[in-house]
Amino acid sequence: MKLKKGDKVLVIAGKERGQSANIVRVIGKKNMVVLDGLNLVKRHRRAGQPGKGQIIDKPMPIHASNVMIVDPKDGKRTRVTIKRGRDGARERTTVNSGQVLK
């Protein structure tokens, strides 16, 4: 997967389309990402021994194909390619501008 935790992405499909957020968690086996403050659902938490129950907002995962990485240089969405250097290290570069993403 070409996305990493901390990347800024733009949602291109679904109910959150057009909004941007940072990646909080990457689920590689299912090819999904969890975004900060997007795709929230309400979950009911059972009451503990002395306390009360509550309703919390929980971010749910979005499939990686429904988000696009945002180029830090100009703030527009772009594609990413992964190239290997001479030492074998993987390096991510944007396809349009050629700028290295960190």
Give the per-residue pLDDT at 33.
95
pTM for the whole structure: 0.76
Which CATH architecture describes the domain 8-94? Roll (2.30)
**pLDDT confidence of 63, banded at 50, 70, 90?**
very high
Flag the least confident range among 17-21, 31-35, 67-71, 89-93: 89-93
Q: At 35, which helix (H) or strand (E)?
A: strand 32-35
Please give the angle made by the CA atoms of 36, 41 and 42, to the nearest 5 degrees.
Answer: 125
Give the per-residue pLDDT at 100.
56
